[in-house]
Amino acid sequence: MTTDVASQPEESEEQVEVLLPDTNIVTHCILKNDVERLRKSFEEDEDPYKEIVADLINTRGRDGKSPLDLASTLGRVELARELIVRGAEVNSTNLKGIYIFIIVMNL
């Protein structure tokens, strides 16, 4: 029996990361509760999101929530801390006028 080498995936091929629908790398990590992946996107030079991740940490979704608001609402304490360390805006308000800092402090 012979094996068709052309049909075998090459070991050097990288798998393409698929994000959850309607997310970016930051909100994807929050929803998946994956703080290590978020750190990797900031720290690893070869990460495909390294160039844009800093701009995404304060980008609000269609619902008006910032990533910090989302992490806090879901009780993702470690991710909320990581976002703050990376420069997430803590003095902004959500659509209801509640300061994100107040939500974070209640975690």
Is residue 104 a contact partner of residue 84, using CB atoms and an 8 Å limit?
yes
CA distance linking residue 6 with residue 63, whole number of Å: 46
Highest mean pLDDT, choosing among 1-10, 42-51, 66-75, 89-98: 42-51
CA distance linking residue 77 with residue 2, whole number of Å: 53
Confidence of residue 71 (pLDDT cuts 50, 70, 90): very high
Sign of the alpha-carbon dihedral angle for 24, 44, 90, 80? positive
> How far does CA 56 lie from the centroid of its chain?
8
Confidence of residue 74 (pLDDT cuts 50, 70, 90): very high
Per-residue model confidence (pLDDT) at position 93: 76
Q: How many helices (H) and strands (E) does the chain have?
A: 6, 0
The model's pTM: 0.78
Indicate the residue type of 31. Answer: L
The fraction of the chain above a pLDDT of 70, given in percent, is 79
Copy the structure tokens of residue 9.
């995936």
Sign of the alpha-carbon dihedral angle for 44, 48, 52, 58? negative
Interval 56-74 mean pLDDT? 91
